[in-house]
Amino acid sequence: GAGVSQSPRYKVAKRGQDVALRCDPISGHVSLFWYQQALGQGPEFLTYFQNEAQLDKSGLPSDRFFAERPEGSVSTLKIQRTQQEDSAVYLCASSRERLNTGELFFGEGSRLTVL
């Protein structure tokens, strides 16, 4: 596609439910990032993939968060047993280059609300 595509755009979950957020990066982009953005805050790093390899997951806030990119293109961020503090916009970004060069192109985000 022409840009980074994320789905669903909006998700309401009851506390304790599992959710899965999908990111379809720009075709051919090597790097893929997940960020969490709370209201009024900047994006906070969650995890980074270079092709199918998850090179950095240091930003994942707990073991309830899991991300994968099995074929080096589409990525899924899964949150198990959601909590209210998980409510945020989850942004996916991709880059043509490896980490140390290039700009990030963002998707529209998935807004998660946990009740």
Partner 1 sequence: QKEVEQNSGPLSVPEGAIASLNCTYSDRGSQSFFWYRQYSGKSPELIMFIYSNGDKEDGRFTAQLNKASQYVSLLIRDSQPSDSATYLCAVNTGNQFYFGTGTSLTVIP
Contact residues for partner 1 (CB under 8 A)? Answer: 33, 35, 40-45, 48, 56, 91, 93, 99-101, 103-109
Q: Which is nearer to partner 1, 5 or 17 (CB)?
A: 5
d(CA 20, CA 74): 13
What are the b/e assignments for 49-86, b being 16+ CB within 10 Å?
bbeeebeeeeebeeeebebebeeebebebebeebeeeb
d(CA 4, CA 92): 8
Least Å from the CB of residue 103 to partner 1 = 5
Q: Which is nearer to partner 1, 12 or 99 (CB)?
A: 99
Q: Are 19 and 112 in contact (CB under 8 A)?
A: yes
Least Å from the CB of residue 58 to partner 1 = 8
Least Å from the CB of residue 18 to partner 1 = 25
Q: Which is nearer to partner 1, 3 or 16 (CB)?
A: 3
